[in-house]
Amino acid sequence: MTITRQDPDAVRVLQGLEDGRSSVRLRAAMAVGTTPDPGFVDKLIERCAIEPEFLVRDMLTWALTRHPVAVTLPELLREVRSERAQARSQALHTLSKIGDRQAWPAITRTLLFDADEEVARSAWRAAVVLVPEGEESALATVLATQLGRGGRETQLSLSRALVALGEVIVPALHAATTAPEPHLRAHALATQRLLRDPDAGFDFAIEEAKRIVALGGSGKEGR
């Protein structure tokens, strides 16, 4: 039977989503996903914006994916424009899990270049999932402008996003290997290596790329 807000069970679930114990919030999010009800969507999205625990956020996203896209999509598209970074990031993450390409127009350059690295990383992942057929090359060109950005986790996220696009990234990566900035060239070379050999591992690929750059490598070997 569908849970409604008038049910005692519904009241307990809503209270559980705000409980101070993460284990209780996790169970509440699981309950909503197990018995979906459109009346809970607003609360799930609201909680995503402020939930501090990764596992609970992941369960909130799962619960949202269990609801009809017609209900969740408009709310998530509004949320990606939120002033709160976590709200934007989690909405983008959820859109990538839903995978409905109607959301593609919402993946703007503003989000792909977001100053908050977690938001940008979520936007890169969502973009790769949602990009319409035939627009992958243009997306690769845009994503390649972010090569060299941030630390290991950010660079790993970008490399994974680019590699997921496949061979269309080759021209953009080759152009980046001739950039004047050594860290940018190294990131491009490492991504080339991962495209050729996905099993190489990012840490190995980036260290190898740094050695090539230090020895004056221009990236020609990545052609």
Are 104 and 78 within 8 A, CB to CB?
A: no
**pLDDT band at residue 6, thresholds of 50, 70 and 90?**
low
The rounded percent of the chain whose pLDDT value lies above 70 is 93
C-alpha span between 208 and 194 (Å, rounded): 11
Query: What is the length of the chain?
Result: 223
Q: What average pLDDT score do residues 152-159 get? A: 95
Give the global pTM: 0.88
Chain centroid to Cα 181, Å, comes to: 26
